[in-house]
Structure 1
Amino acid sequence: MPDTAMIFAAGRGTRMGALTQTIPKPMIPVAGKPLIDHALALVDDSPIRNIIINLHHLGDQIVDHLDLRDIRFSHEDSQLLETGGGLKKALSSLKSESIVTLNSDAVWTGPNPIPPLLKTWDPGRMDALLMLVAPQNAVGHTGQGDFLMAEDGLLRRGAGLTFTGCQIIKTEPVAAVGDDVFSLNVVWDRLLAGGRVFGLEHQGRWCDVGHPEGITLAETMLKDANVRPI
């Protein structure tokens, strides 16, 4: 069972425009607290106790903000490694057979997505278990969907459910990629070919806060759900 969560926080946040010239995107406030704190709240409200965060653009601000917390940091100072490469680098300091991942630029309503993943995780038949959301519940997201899900949860590529950034994935297939810079799509494609990628549908809403308009959308979503900032 996974005991560590990786939070992706290394992006430059270019879609945020001027907002990320002086602060990193994970430190942008939404509903009274930085985005990174929304992600951390999900981990804190789960059985996961170990956290690692990757850093790049203005990462020192994130380190300072989390100074009093027992969190590991994986620095990508020289170059951005993308999701797969960032996770691969972070794994060099971990000894986990599987890991939970989260994006730092998303806000959720409904149940915490991590406990259902942990409850459903079956490493005997799964190499990855992805938390997905229906298009009508993907606030601020303009994509056509990423995966189609069978009744047993098996995934295949297609315009259907949207990946939220939250998943459990085995570490060995990530570490086995020869490149240093790569997307997790590289890993998923290999695992999908073997029928080893499964999904769950989140029973709530999820907002992609990757652009300035996403801040207002997220705050409205939280207000509509009567979610008070911690």
Structure 2
Amino acid sequence: MNLPRPLPVMIFAAGFGTRMGALTQDRPKPLIEVAGRALIDHALDLVTAYTPPRTVVNLHYRADQLAAHLDGRGALLSHETPDILDTGGGLRAALPLLGDGPVLTMNSDAIWRGPNPLPHLAAGWDGAHMGALLLCLPPDRALGHAGPGDFTLAPDGRLSRGPGLVYSGVQIIDPACLAGIPETVFSLNRAWNRLAAEGRLFGAVYPGHWCDVGHPEGIALAEDMLAQTHVRD
């Protein structure tokens, strides 16, 4: 089977990390360590193994620290200044660095146990029918996430809002769906809602485990999850 050509990757790393409390008073959230390594490094491990043509990281809060950490790592930096742009605005601002066509985006505050989520998701992308393809998990395999889920998955793979699956923070999206949104600062939820109404929002289920490290309790949960991986290995 011929694998699809790797897509450009954008890592969202500009946020303030307010849910982390005191841990982000002196550093950006992507530099918080899990199992002795910064969150951004865990993300870059997955990206490097995927071998995309370009990797872009957006920066805003304590951008100088993160830029210094990424120096020499081969990532292009999209500085959001003076204002942070949210996910939709951030993606739009980074498009000159990413190039044309669909983009694989990922959050930097998660830890994974299982197959690399990037090629796993890319194998299911069909740009002729999809505007976005979101990687999701059932709640019992989404550590550190409270609630019944974000999306309902139909038998044909289309997503709608409602309980069922948790969005993992990894997606493939066609930036053309951002057209018609006039604001500079906006969430990708705006684009997803439009795509869902058009029947072009799709989902795929990740077969492994995932941990949200957007809050302090997630650090220990992620480290325990990784320890279980090592025991099984």
Specify if TM > 0.5: yes
1:108 pairs, out of 102, 112, 128, with: 112
Name the residue aligned to 1:97. Answer: 101
Name the residue aligned to 1:81. Answer: 85
Name the residue aligned to 2:66. Answer: 62
d(CA) in 2 for partners of 1:151, 1:2: 27
Matched, 1:155 2:159: yes
The 5 Å alignment of 1:136-147 reads 136-147=140-151
| Residues 182, 116 of structure 1: alpha-carbon distance in 2 compared, 3 angstrom cutoff | same
| Residues 154, 227 of structure 1: alpha-carbon distance in 2 compared, 3 angstrom cutoff | farther
Name the residue aligned to 2:53. Answer: 49
Matched, 1:206 2:210: yes
Name the residue aligned to 1:181. Answer: 185
Quote how far apart the aligned CAs of 1:47 are: 3.6
Name the residue aligned to 2:43. Answer: 39
Name the residue aligned to 1:126. Answer: 130
Name the residue aligned to 1:222. Answer: 226
Quote how far apart the aligned CAs of 1:116 are: 1.8
- 2:120 aligns to what SS in structure 1? helix
d(CA) in 2 for partners of 1:167, 1:27: 22
- 2:121 aligns to what SS in structure 1? helix
Deviation string 1:191-215 (CA, Å, 9 cap, x unpaired) is: 1011001111111111110111111
- 2:97 aligns to what SS in structure 1? coil
The two structures, once aligned, show a CA RMSD in angstroms of: 1.5
- With normalisation by structure 2, the TM-score equals 0.94
Letter matched to residue 200 of structure 1: A
d(CA) in 2 for partners of 1:99, 1:136: 28
d(CA) in 1 for partners of 2:205, 2:132: 14
d(CA) in 2 for partners of 1:227, 1:92: 43
Name the residue aligned to 2:139. Answer: 135
Matched, 1:23 2:27: yes
| Residues 215, 146 of structure 1: alpha-carbon distance in 2 compared, 3 angstrom cutoff | same
Matched, 1:10 2:14: yes
| Residues 60, 142 of structure 1: alpha-carbon distance in 2 compared, 3 angstrom cutoff | same
- 1:206 aligns to what SS in structure 2? strand
CA contact (8 A) 1:2 1:98 kept: no
CA contact (8 A) 2:56 2:98 kept: no
CA contact (8 A) 2:114 2:207 kept: yes
- With normalisation by structure 1, the TM-score equals 0.95
Name the residue aligned to 1:167. Answer: 171
* Structure 2 residue runs without a partner (length 5+): none
Deviation string 1:147-196 (CA, Å, 9 cap, x unpaired) is: 11112211111111010110100011124421111110000001101100
1:191 pairs, out of 173, 189, 195, with: 195
d(CA) in 2 for partners of 1:9, 1:66: 12
d(CA) in 1 for partners of 2:81, 2:148: 33
